[in-house]
Amino acid sequence: MNQITLSKPLDMHLHLRDGQMLETVAPLSANSFAGAVIMPNLVPPVDSLEKCLSYRERIISACAANNFEPYMTLFFKNYAEKELAAAKPHIIGIKLYPDGITTNSQGGVKAIEDAEPTIELMQELGIPLLVHGETADFVMDREEKFLSVYQQIAKKFPRLHIVMEHITTRHAVALLDRFENLFATVTLHHLLITLDDVAGGMLNPHLFCKPIAKRPEDRDALLEAALSAHPKLSFGSDSAPHPQSKKECCGCAAGVFTAPIALPILAALFDRHGKLDNLQSFVSGNAVRNYRINPPEKEVALVKEPSLIPEKYGDVVPMWAGQEISWRLVS
């Protein structure tokens, strides 16, 4: 196949920021996707229905007429049942961050036990729990060490829909098949890179992210699960824009910007492995089924023709800036 049309493609993990950055990046996601799960780690965090609805308005406004559904999330804190019940129709889930573990996660959860009353309510109300699953251990171990927390929640709340966000290890992939109520997203970059690409040659800040890219055998396990359209795994870019000055400096911020180029690179990747038929499930079908959502009608066509990744979008440098890839969006 030299072309493919994706129906209702979804980005199940996206950072759109706010203000000028939102204006820059939201239209780029809307150009590729029918909808996206919007992360709530603004400063201050999106931790009330009022903030959430107001943020949603700003996103819709930034996307203008582009038929794009922002699936909103709340920043996890202990919420009253009334708040949760009121928020439920407006959100796809609540995003739990361990305190201080990544960009703008200050005020997150210090101990999972403290979070259990709200998690219990979420289970009762049918609100999914989305988790940044890392501990404060050694950087290469942070996700693996968190897996016991996933197991603890999955066992204790068997009717809770739990999403292990942006998984990076073969151990997390294996966990998907052990608990019925555990799901996962995986980014584009974690299907492609290892720590070698970040720090094996020169240091590459544009591939520095949290969780950090892991070992080759981890990347291979993620890739195999994605290419085979594992039914509990969905694409979530974790695309996270930072101004160039915050990436190419001493003390570079974590985050890889991939939203506008994710679909052509995924098409090239799945095509190279002879798995283009599985791309629809990975970028939409699995999420639609697992979350029971009904995204806006949108078809996105891709064709196998070389294209250049731009050096910048506004002030944001994308992954693989300036490089040629073998597929492109038909705009």
CB of 199 to a second copy, least distance (A): 6
Q: Which two tokens stand for residue 226?
A: 């994605």
Q: Given candidates 194, 234, 280, 284, which one binds a second copy under the rule CB under 8 A?
A: 194
Q: Given candidates 1, 43, 64, 203, which one binds a second copy under the rule CB under 8 A?
A: 203
Dist CA 70 CA 127 (whole Å): 17
Contact between 99 and a second copy (CB under 8 A)? Answer: no
Closer residue to a second copy (CB): 11 or 218: 218
Dist CA 303 CA 329 (whole Å): 7
Phi, psi of 134 (to 5 degrees): -140, 145
CB of 189 to a second copy, least distance (A): 15
Closer residue to a second copy (CB): 57 or 137: 137
Q: Other CB atoms closer than 10 Å to residue 78's CB: what's the count? A: 13
Closer residue to a second copy (CB): 207 or 267: 207
Contact between 319 and a second copy (CB under 8 A)? Answer: no
Task: Find how far residue 165's CA is from the centre of its chain.
Answer: 6
Contact between 220 and a second copy (CB under 8 A)? Answer: no
Contact between 191 and a second copy (CB under 8 A)? Answer: no
Contact between 222 and a second copy (CB under 8 A)? Answer: no
Give the C-alpha distances (Å, rounded to integers) separating 2 from 271, 272, 298, 304. 9, 11, 20, 5
CB of 249 to a second copy, least distance (A): 6
Dist CA 76 CA 133 (whole Å): 13
Task: Find how far residue 268's CA is from the centre of its chain.
Answer: 20
Establish how many alpha carbons lie within 13 A of residue 125's alpha carbon, considering only the half-sphere containing its beta carbon: 24
Dist CA 62 CA 124 (whole Å): 34
Q: Is 177 a catalytic residue?
A: no
Paired with 103 in beta bridges are none
Closer residue to a second copy (CB): 252 or 303: 252
Closer residue to a second copy (CB): 45 or 205: 205
Q: Given candidates 53, 85, 195, 303, which one binds a second copy under the rule CB under 8 A?
A: 195
Stretch that binds a second copy, among 41-49, 198-206, 280-288, 304-312 (CB under 8 A): 198-206
- Residues with Cβ within 8 Å of 126's Cβ and at least 6 positions away in sequence, in order, are 88, 161
Contact between 216 and a second copy (CB under 8 A)? Answer: yes
Closer residue to a second copy (CB): 65 or 250: 250
Binding to a second copy (CB under 8 A) within 246-285 occurs at 247-254
Q: What's the CA dihedral at 36, 60, 75, 280 to 10 degrees?
A: -10
Q: Other CB atoms closer than 10 Å to residue 138's CB: what's the count? A: 9
Contact between 204 and a second copy (CB under 8 A)? Answer: yes
Contact (CB, 8 A) for 131 and 150: yes
Binding to a second copy (CB under 8 A) within 119-138 occurs at 138
Selected catalytic residue, list 11, 47, 218, 238: 238
> DSSP state, 285?
I
Stretch that binds a second copy, among 3-11, 26-34, 197-205, 278-286 (CB under 8 A): 197-205
Contact between 245 and a second copy (CB under 8 A)? Answer: no
Q: What is the size of the binding site for a second copy (CB under 8 A)?
A: 27
Q: In what order do the strands lie in the sheet with 299-303?
A: 3-7, 299-303, 328-329
Residues forming contacts to a second copy in the complex (CB under 8 A) are: 138-140, 194-196, 198-200, 202-206, 208, 212, 215-216, 247-254, 317
Known catalytic residues are: 238
